[in-house]
Amino acid sequence: MYQGATPRELVLEAARRDNVDLLKGLIDTLWKEPISDSKKSDANVKKAKERVAELINTAFDPIGNHALHLAAKNGNCKSRSGPAIGPSSRRSELRLTRV
């Protein structure tokens, strides 16, 4: 389905390099993938949001650091509005939360 880097690898790369454009492009691609039908229903929007959230929240590097931890480690966390996120890092068991 994907050529080159996987969506998980792209999320991690965007976090490491503070590449917002890469992350936005990936989210746009995931948002446009067909879900069940071509209609823009509330259910399809909800499924698209869940797919994006699952990808971001389950992407971790081989060491066990999640995307948010990689961004914070590299000083790439800026004050941006959004939901509270931050799964536990498998390596450090720290929980980073953005509000």
Instruction: Record the pTM.
Output: 0.67
Q: For residue 8, what pLDDT is reported?
A: 93
Mean pLDDT over 74-90 rounds to 57
Residue type, 80: R
Q: For residue 21, what pLDDT is reported?
A: 92
